[in-house]
Amino acid sequence: MRRLIVSALACVAMLCNALGATIYSRITTKPTAGWPNTYLIVYEVSDTKAYVWDGTDDQYNYTEVTIANGKITSDDLADSQVQVATEGSNYSVKAKDGYIWVKSGDNGIEFAKGAHECTIKVNGGYVQLETNTNTERFVYNTTAKRFRFYYDKDKKWANTTYKNVYFYILGDQEDPGQAGNLDINYAHASMYACYSKFPTTSSPYDQYFYTELFLAQEESYEAVPQVGLEILAPTQYSLVGEKTDTYRTYKSTYDAGNKGYINITNGAHHSYFWFPSKAEAGYSEAAIIVAEMKITRVGESKKPNAYVYHIKLEFTDSNKKIWKLDKDIDVYGWWSDCDRSGKEPVDMEAVAFALESGNHNPPADVEILPESIGTKWIKRVVDGQIVIVRDGVTYNVLGVRL
């Protein structure tokens, strides 16, 4: 009995140690508070395996660790930590045996009692630690199997055996520079003629078509994550352009000749991002401050009244977080007309159609969706098909009564 109790206590102790283990987090941009902090210097061998510099200048001067989602969890790396401090206009880096540097023209590591200046900068997510007017860079050499400073008078470090390193900061932190992949599975494009500028005889190119591209995790107005893009589309029934075009790039920097533009001028009012948070509403809202989207026509969808596009989207939100989307998505199109003589959109008719159809006009036997879209107009997904329910009557997205 006593042995069982002792074993149980040992298991509890092990669990507590695991729960309290030290966490280090990959960073790919300069921390908001600046560089001074405690780090590990890491070479990532794969998505799950990494080498941590152990603070020496020996061959195999590393500890092999496991990484998961940009995190290292271990209580055995205290001797491998380096301390970054401000030194003049640059920084000093102190390992367990002293401040690290190397003589210009040498390959190696010197350990000094006093601080030596280094520069630290981010390039493509890697952290470049350099010294001696930046002719010496701290890298991992895959042939020599070691970390150290390596000399390159041309400051190119073109040797393919030299691998750039990451800094992992002490603590469980989110990396503001690490791109997050958007979990997007649903999309629709709402095109509004009443907000659009049509070409005229005198100005055939003075045109754009107002479109709201809605991307979400699921078919729900409360779905998170959710991206709303207000874009100026090049044609009335397409997101990519003419029939001969297969793709179009939309940017948040306006190009008059491009006829494709993501509107972010008034922040989240136009283009926004909802992301998971601890907010009571279940999400937080951020404006999109810069964005670029390449949308490529793939073909007709197996789902009714949808068209497949490949959407490659990257944007930065107002929290300085980068987000990416790169996948095929079924997109549903909605075209709304209205009385253009008035300032307010009235007598709107919503007509759903497969994008790229070239014509939003329904067949003669189609019942157009109600002129006034009120609270009783409900859009749902039933057996994988979007349907509209109004006053108890169900329609498909072309307005055909089911």
pLDDT in tens, 285-328: 888 989 999 999 888 888 766 788 999 999 988 777 788 899 99
**In the predicted structure, residue 119 carries a pLDDT above the cut 80:** yes
Q: What is the mean pLDDT of residues 280-287?
A: 73
| Most trustworthy range by pLDDT among 41-50, 196-205, 215-224, 257-266 | 41-50
Same-domain pairing of 210 and 326: yes
Residue 17 in any domain: the answer is no
Whole domain around residue 53: which residue ranges?
Answer: 26-170
Q: What is the mean pLDDT of residues 350-356?
A: 54
* Cis preceding linkage at 225, omega within 30: yes
| Residue 192 CA from chain centroid, whole number | 28
Q: What is the mean pLDDT of residues 77-85?
A: 97
Same-domain pairing of 331 and 184: yes
20 vs 14: CA distance, rounded Å: 10
Q: Can you give the pLDDT at residue 175? A: 75
Structural domains counted in the chain: 2
Instruction: Give the pTM.
Output: 0.50
Same-domain pairing of 118 and 223: no
Same-domain pairing of 120 and 258: no
- The larger pLDDT score, comparing residue 346 to residue 354, is at 354
Helices (H), 83-170: none
Q: Can you give the pLDDT at residue 321? A: 76
Q: Can you give the pLDDT at residue 47? A: 80
What pLDDT, in 10s, does the model give residues 160-174? 899 999 999 999 987
| Most trustworthy range by pLDDT among 62-66, 273-277, 352-356 | 62-66
What pLDDT, in 10s, does the model give residues 138-161? 999 999 999 999 999 988 888 889
Length of the chain: 402
Residue 139 in any domain: the answer is yes
Residues near 257 by beta carbon (within 8 Å), at least 6 away in sequence: none
Same-domain pairing of 54 and 149: yes
Q: Give one word for 165, left, alpha or beta, with left for phi > 0 and alpha for psi -120 to 50.
A: beta
